[in-house]
Structure 1
Amino acid sequence: MKLENINWQAVTEAMHAQGYAVVKDVLTAKECDGLVKAYNEPEYYRKTISMERYRFGQGEYKYFAYPLPPLIQQLREQVYPQLAPIANDWMRVLKIPTAYPAEFKALQAVCREHQQTQPTVLILQYGRGGHNTLHQDLYGEFFFPFQLVVCLSEDYTGGEFVLIEQRPRAQSKAIVLRPGKGDVVIFTTNFRPVKSTTGYYRANMKHGVSEVRNGSRYALGIIFHDAK
């Protein structure tokens, strides 16, 4: 894992400008392959979800159980402190009375205060025809406004990562990304601030995955807040 190579100033600027940032080659191919291999090892997971059953799309995902694998725990603990100041800037300009703690363990303590104790980190698998409908990963009344998705495979076509931005009194804007194996997309969970002539307003955002035409697509989703 190459967290030390991340240009956090560039990430900060991208998040403020567009609500997402793409960081190349954060996980190695070996780390990605290890997570894909572990998909079929049930001891790592607390719950399996069929997307068709809940009309979330087509595919399957699994929620990890605590304790998380060390690689995933390290990602959560080391990335969160870099994102918390950006989140607090967003709350300030939008005049939302929320302040996120500087360290990840303190964020988990806030989750526990809201009876949110279940891990939300998940791994997703899509085959041919697989897709994920537009959604937001909130999981409770308390949520951290940013999350990550890590692309774990590359032998597929289609399956683009899609963000939809909804601005008041305007048509929705689609953003389509094709991250490579080991790349990380950092993006807003719910909304982002957009500057207007009178201040800032919220632009709501959702995310999903377009249809996989061929192959198998695996991804790791890192949500920082826990679920009820």
Structure 2
Amino acid sequence: MWKKKTTIAALSTLLLAGALPAGTNAAVVTKSVQAFYHDIKIRYNGVVVPTTTEPFIIDGTTYVPLRMVSTLFNKNVGWDGTTYTIDITDIPDSRIAALEAQIANKDSQIKSLEQQLQSARNRISALEDEQDDEDDVEERINDLEDDLNDDYEDYFEDLELAVKLDGDEDEIEAEIRVDLGEYKDEWEALSDSDIEELVEDFVNDIWDEFEDADVDGVIYDTDGRKDLYDFEGDASKEEIFLDGDEIE
């Protein structure tokens, strides 16, 4: 490996005097320096980088081509001869732009998923509220059924009745049950007005708890397993029907 020493005339900025603009007002100073060339190589990430301008050493400082080194670091280099300024700027990296676009797309997807998740949570909350309401209505119907069984068990003397309710707050399905195998004589002794009064009192008791519920019911013989009477209650009109005829 050989070493060479060269004396060169340079500006203090290491720019050749001939490269300076003639019209500048700044004082131009020249001086002779000794530059040492020692076959200096530039290695970037372990790979030797070729350069058309060989690096050199002056007073223990190694000088390398700025433009070549800036390119390695993805920079632009410009020379402003008016102000004697070297401008170094970033070179836009298309990979960064692509990554930023991907990130923006992912952010959009995340936002959409978050909105879907919130919508699902709102739906679940609404369903839970509906279920709570349904549970509350079911509990009220069960409580009313218990109360009606207590009230109507001895509605007629020597004749036991039972009540079964189902439905919701808009429509109640009802059964008044009687065992004619045990109470046939007592049942047959009832008059039409007795049956009408029974149905009227029964529907009104339901409306006391569910005033907007229509009532669809039967009087059912548990022994013969058949319907004895049909009755209805129209809540909006406050009308009660027994076998299709309105009870006056």
Which of the two has greater helix per residue?
2
TM-score for the superposition, normalised by structure 1: 0.23
Normalised by the length of structure 2, the TM-score is 0.22
Larger Rg: 2
Q: Which has the higher contact order (CA 8 A, sep 6+)?
A: 1
